[in-house]
């Protein structure tokens, strides 16, 4: 039985490694995903900014046309001023001219603002383009290193799994069944020593008859309270847990 217990300890250590490896594999894609999301959002900003600059340039061109029309209309009205017969018509035309000039002034202010905004957006686009290029490089290098790490972890996992299968082959089917049952309930450690009639997994007393059988260290005995696989270890002299450490190193 003690040989079986030793194997169970090794098995437990390997299963622990396996869980850690799977955990690492699970978190790997996250670091690439974060970088990819960052890259996508910067690309989106770049696209928006490029669209904005195009629309500003279009507006700049249309302002020049509008300004020419306003000027022409104002001139036409100014010529007509000298041929007017009534004061009322003069006032109406004057108001129209003033409105045209007011509109022209507003357009000129808008044009000035655009003259400031367009170079600023161009500069921003320039900086953002470098940032996107940098992020793209980082993303590709990260994706490569993550893929290498993933391949390495998969090899390690495969190796651990085959070691687990090999060790299971050294156990009795009954022992494997108990082991898997306890493992599925995530009860660690799966194996517990019995000292002075007490299970050192759950610290409950073992019934005397069962204790006698545990002392013989012959069969697979399961703790009636915590269902861990028991082995007799009178004064903790077996030190199987430390053996386990040595073996798993």
Q: Does 223 bind Zn ion (CB under 5 A)?
A: yes
* Length, in residues, of the chain: 249
Residue 222 Cβ, how far from Zn ion at the closest point, in Å? 9
Instruction: Name which position in 74, 226, 238, 247 contacts Zn ion (CB under 5 A).
Output: 226
Find the binding residues for Zn ion in span 190-219 (CB under 5 A): 199, 201-202
Q: CA of 226: how far to CAs of 182, 202, 210, 221, 244, in Å?
A: 9, 6, 14, 12, 21
Q: How far is the CB of 200 from Zn ion (least distance, A)?
A: 8
From candidates 58, 98, 225, 248, binder to Zn ion by CB under 5 A? 225
Of 149, 194, 182, 156, which Cα lies nearest the Cα of 12?
182
Which residue lies nearer to Zn ion by CB, 81 or 204? 204
Which of 100, 206 has the CB closer to Zn ion? 206
CB of 197 to Zn ion, least distance (A): 12
Give the pairing of strands 191-195 and 229-232: parallel
Nearer to Zn ion, 139 or 200 (CB): 200
Query: Quick one: CA dihedral 232, 233, 234, 238, positive or negative?
Result: positive
Q: In terms of C-beta distances under 8 Å and separation of at least 24 residues, what long-range contacts does 233-238 make, across chains too?
A: 233/193, 233/194, 233/195, 233/200, 234/195, 235/195, 236/193, 236/195, 238/2, 238/193
Minimum distance from CB of 224 to Zn ion (Å)? 8
222 sits near Zn ion (criterion: CB under 5 A): no
If binding is defined by CB under 5 A, does position 229 make contact with Zn ion? no
Report, in Å, the least distance between residue 7 CB and Zn ion.
Answer: 20
- CB of 247: closest distance to Zn ion in angstroms? 24
Which residue, 60 or 205, has its beta carbon nearer to Zn ion?
A: 205
Query: 222 or 238, CB closer to Zn ion?
Result: 222
Residues interacting with Zn ion, by CB under 5 A? 199, 201-202, 223, 225-226
């Amino acid at each position: 039985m003690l040989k079986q217990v030793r194997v169970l300890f090794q098995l437990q250590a390997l299963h622990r490694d396996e869980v850690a490896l799977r955990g690492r594999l699970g978190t790997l894609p996250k670091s690439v995903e974060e970088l990819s999301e960052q890259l996508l959002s910067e690309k989106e900003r770049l696209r928006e900014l490029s669209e904005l600059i195009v629309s500003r340039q279009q507006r700049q061109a249309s302002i020049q046309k509008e300004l020419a029309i306003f000027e022409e209309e104002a001139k036409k009205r100014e010529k007509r001023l000298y041929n007017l017969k009534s004061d009322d018509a003069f006032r109406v035309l004057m108001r129209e001219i003033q409105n045209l000039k007011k509109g022209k002034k507003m357009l000129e202010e808008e044009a000035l603002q655009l003259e400031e905004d367009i170079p600023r957006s161009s500069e921003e686009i320039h900086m953002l383009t470098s940032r996107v290029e940098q992020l793209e490089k980082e993303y590709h290098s990260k994706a490569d290193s993550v893929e290498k790490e993933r391949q390495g972890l998969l090899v390690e996992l495969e190796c651990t799994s085959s070691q687990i299968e090999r060790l299971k082959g050294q156990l009795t089917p009954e022992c494997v069944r108990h082991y898997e049952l306890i493992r599925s309930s995530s009860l660690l450690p799966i194996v517990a020593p019995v000292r002075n009639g007490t299970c050192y997994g759950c610290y409950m007393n073992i019934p005397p008859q069962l204790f006698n059988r545990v002392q013989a260290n012959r069969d697979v005995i399961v703790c009636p309270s915590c269902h861990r696989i028991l082995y007799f270890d009178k004064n903790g002299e077996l030190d199987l847990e430390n053996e386990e450490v040595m073996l798993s190193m």
